[in-house]
């Protein structure tokens, strides 16, 4: 693993409509075959990462699926592209220099103009100098970089432009400032009648949300802006999530409410799962935990109605241990015993929300990550598989919310799930990532292992 990297590696995402040469451009920039190149649109659907070095500057290039509203898989691909955009420090917007601009090109250009991140317009397939490229300038993205990914023309100038943009202060400093000013989105989720609206009312100090003993009073996700301890929040009070089998055919409104709640979780920075202390943990609570886990959002478990009968510290410890054993997918979620009705420990709930959000937004320098991975491999070497052993060339963080680490290895198949979990736990321990989900991805990299 290289010890020359002393700062985090920035991410460069390649976006564009299908068949403009994004995969060819990735292969050309990193000087090896990483993405599959095919004339048929839609071959690339998932994000593909590859390391690149130019003029002593290391960065990751991400190939994404082609964006087209005519593709039946468009929504899935768009989700992958949006994730790449969120992770990226710089966007390469690729168009085809040989063809007139399309409706998809214009839609993507509109998104690029609103993105708030540096964007380089790349006109690919510009082999012939006689091409009429005046149409490209009307996209409003700036002066294009003309390249031919297949033949290599112009790619050196493009790499120079990439490195120049990555070294600019705006590319490195704009995002953290925006993150400090944005309110924290917190989705309040749970089964019907768990006390979600009561909690929002407690925070607001007024009866703004309709509260009823009848389950299902809230049928939509409602955004409420609040400020506590100098920090701004957007609380999203969601409908109670019932098991789909219990949503009858005629209960279309409740079915729609459940979908709104699921969407609110995926759009949130942190979710709060409210449990009813009197009813205990149910199978539906477990399903909601799974939903939060799969959405990779940080969440806090709030055990509500803790004041309705006399409960001591011993009972709280026993219930916490029981929840940990029953919810292994939520072993990183803090647990707060509270009362939405009286306000007991609501302040502590918001403290935990802030801690989870801070951990999710952490940026760890690449050199520190590599040192920790080196130490983990030394202390507990990976087991051999049929005479072969996992080799890690280097590791880096490529995303936040949640922290996303990529390990470039000789063969991902050589890493057993248990060993991957060991590495994840080492990263958690080393960088105090106790209360946030962590995403760990293994990628194959060509080259000699160390």
Q: Domain for residue 450, yes or no?
A: no
**Structure tokens given for 384:** 């051999």
Question: Do residues 15 and 97 both lie within one domain?
Answer: yes
List the alpha helices (DSSP H) in 132-236.
155-167, 169-181, 196-204
One domain, residues 218 and 170: no
- Structure confidence by residue, pLDDT tens digits, 29-80: 988 766 544 444 443 445 678 888 888 888 999 888 777 665 544 455 566 7
Examine residue 168 and state whether it is found in any structural domain, yes or no.
Answer: yes
Q: Are residues 428 and 322 in the same domain?
A: no
Q: Please tell me the total count of domains within the chain.
A: 3
- Would you state the pLDDT for residue 174? 42
Choose one of 294, 327, 360: the last residue of a domain: 360
71, two tokens: 């593709």
- For residues 141 and 228, membership in a common domain is answered with no
Tens of pLDDT, residue by residue over 209-245, are 444 343 444 434 568 888 888 889 999 877 555 555 5
pLDDT of residue 400: 82
Helix (H) or strand (E) holding 235: strand 231-237
For 244, the token pair is: 């789909």
The structure's pTM equals 0.60
Q: Give the pLDDT score at 110.
A: 85
Q: Are residues 156 and 206 in the same domain?
A: no
- Res 29: pLDDT: 92
Give the model's pLDDT for residue 46: 53
The model's pLDDT over 168-202, given as tens digits with 9 standing for 90+, comes to 644 344 444 444 457 899 999 988 888 888 998 89
Q: Is 169 exposed, middle or buried (0-12, 13-18, 19+ CB in 10 A)?
A: exposed
Flag whether 161 is in a domain.
yes
The rounded distance, in Å, linking the Cα atoms of 196 and 261 is 12
Residues 44 and 158 in one domain: yes
Q: Which residue is listed with tokens 């916490």?
A: 320
In the DSSP assignment, the letter for residue 149 is T
Q: Which residue has the higher pLDDT, 99 or 239?
A: 99
Considering the domain architecture, whether residues 78 and 187 belong to the same structural domain is answered as no
Task: Tell me how far CA of residue 198 lies from CA of 38, 194, 202, in angstroms.
Answer: 55, 9, 6
| CATH classification at residue 136 | 3.40.50.300
Give the count of beta carbons closer than 10 Å to the beta carbon of residue 71. 19
- Report if residue 3 sits inside a domain: no
Q: Which of 322, 345, 360 is the last residue of a domain?
A: 360
Verify that 249 and 348 share a domain, yes or no.
yes
Residues 111 and 141 in one domain: yes
SS (H, E, C) 6-72: CCCCCEEEEECCCCCCHHHHHHHHHCCCCCCCCCCCCCCCCCEEEEEEECCEEEEEEECCCCCCCCC
Residue of 70 and 332 predicted with greater confidence = 332
Which residues make beta-bridge pairs with 187?
236, 271
Contact 66, 77 (CB under 8 A): yes
Instruction: Answer yes or no: do 269 and 345 share one domain.
Output: yes
H or E, element range at 120: strand 119-124
Q: Are strands 145-146 and 119-124 parallel, antiparallel or unpaired?
A: parallel
Residues 6+ apart with CB under 8 A from 52: 12, 29, 30, 58, 59, 60, 61, 159
Domain, as residue range, for 413: 366-444
Phi first, then psi: what are they for 442, rounded to 5°? Answer: -105, 130
DSSP characters over 243-262: -GGGS-TT-HHHHHHHHHHH
- Whether residues 69 and 131 share a domain: the answer is yes
Task: Please identify, among 154, 178, 202, the residue that sits at the C-terminal boundary of a domain.
Answer: 178
Q: Do both 90 and 28 map to the same domain?
A: yes
User: pLDDT-derived band of residue 255, with 50, 70 and 90 as boundaries?
Assistant: very low
């Amino acid at each position: 693993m290289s010890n020359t990297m002393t700062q985090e590696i920035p991410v460069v995402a390649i976006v564009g409509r299908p068949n403009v040469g994004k995969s060819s451009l990735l292969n050309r920039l990193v000087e090896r075959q990483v993405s599959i190149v095919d004339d048929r649109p839609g071959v690339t659907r998932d994000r593909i990462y590859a390391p690149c070095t130019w003029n002593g500057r290391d960065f990751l290039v991400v190939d994404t699926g082609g964006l087209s509203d005519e593709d039946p898989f468009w929504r899935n691909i768009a989700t992958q592209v949006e994730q790449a955009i969120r992770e990226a420090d710089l966007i390469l917007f690729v168009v085809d220099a040989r063809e007139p601009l399309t409706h998809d090109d214009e839609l993507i250009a509109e998104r690029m103009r609103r993105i708030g991140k540096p964007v380089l317009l790349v006109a690919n397939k510009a082999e012939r100098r006689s091409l009429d490229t005046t149409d490209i300038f009307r996209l409003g993205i700036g002066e294009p970089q003309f390249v031919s990914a297949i033949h290599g023309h112009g790619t050196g100038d493009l790499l120079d432009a990439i490195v120049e943009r990555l070294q600019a202060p705006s590319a490195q400093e704009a995002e953290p400032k925006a993150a400090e000013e944005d309110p924290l989105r917190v989705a309040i989720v749970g089964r019907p009648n768990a006390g979600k609206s009561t909690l929002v009312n407690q925070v607001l100090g007024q009866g703004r949300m309709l509260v009823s003993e009848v389950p299902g009073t809230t049928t939509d996700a409602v955004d409420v802006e609040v400020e506590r301890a100098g920090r701004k929040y957007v609380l999203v009070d969601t409908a109670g999530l019932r098991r789909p089998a219990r949503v009858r055919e005629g209960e279309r409104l409740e079915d729609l409410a459940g979908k709104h709640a699921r969407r609110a979780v995926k759009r949130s920075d942190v979710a709060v799962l409210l449990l009813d202390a009197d009813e205990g943990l149910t199978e539906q609570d477990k399903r909601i935990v799974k939903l939060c886990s799969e959405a990779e959002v940080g969440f806090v478990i709030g055990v509500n109605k803790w004041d309705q009968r006399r409960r001591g510290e011993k009972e709280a410890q026993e219930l916490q241990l029981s929840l940990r054993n029953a919810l292994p997918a939520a072993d990183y979620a803090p647990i707060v015993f509270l009362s939405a009705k009286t306000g007991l420990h609501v302040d502590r709930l918001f403290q935990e929300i802030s801690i989870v959000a801070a951990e999710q937004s952490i940026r760890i320098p690449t050199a520190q990550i590599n040192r920790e991975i080196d130490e983990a491999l030394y202390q507990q070497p990976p087991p051999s598989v049929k005479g072969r052993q996992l080799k890690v060339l280097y590791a880096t963080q490529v995303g936040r919310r949640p922290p996303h680490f990529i390990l470039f290895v000789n063969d991902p198949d050589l890493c057993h799930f248990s060993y991957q979990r060991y590495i994840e736990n080492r990263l958690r321990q080393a960088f105090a990532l106790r209360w946030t989900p962590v995403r760990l991805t293994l990628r194959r990299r060509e080259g000699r292992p160390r």
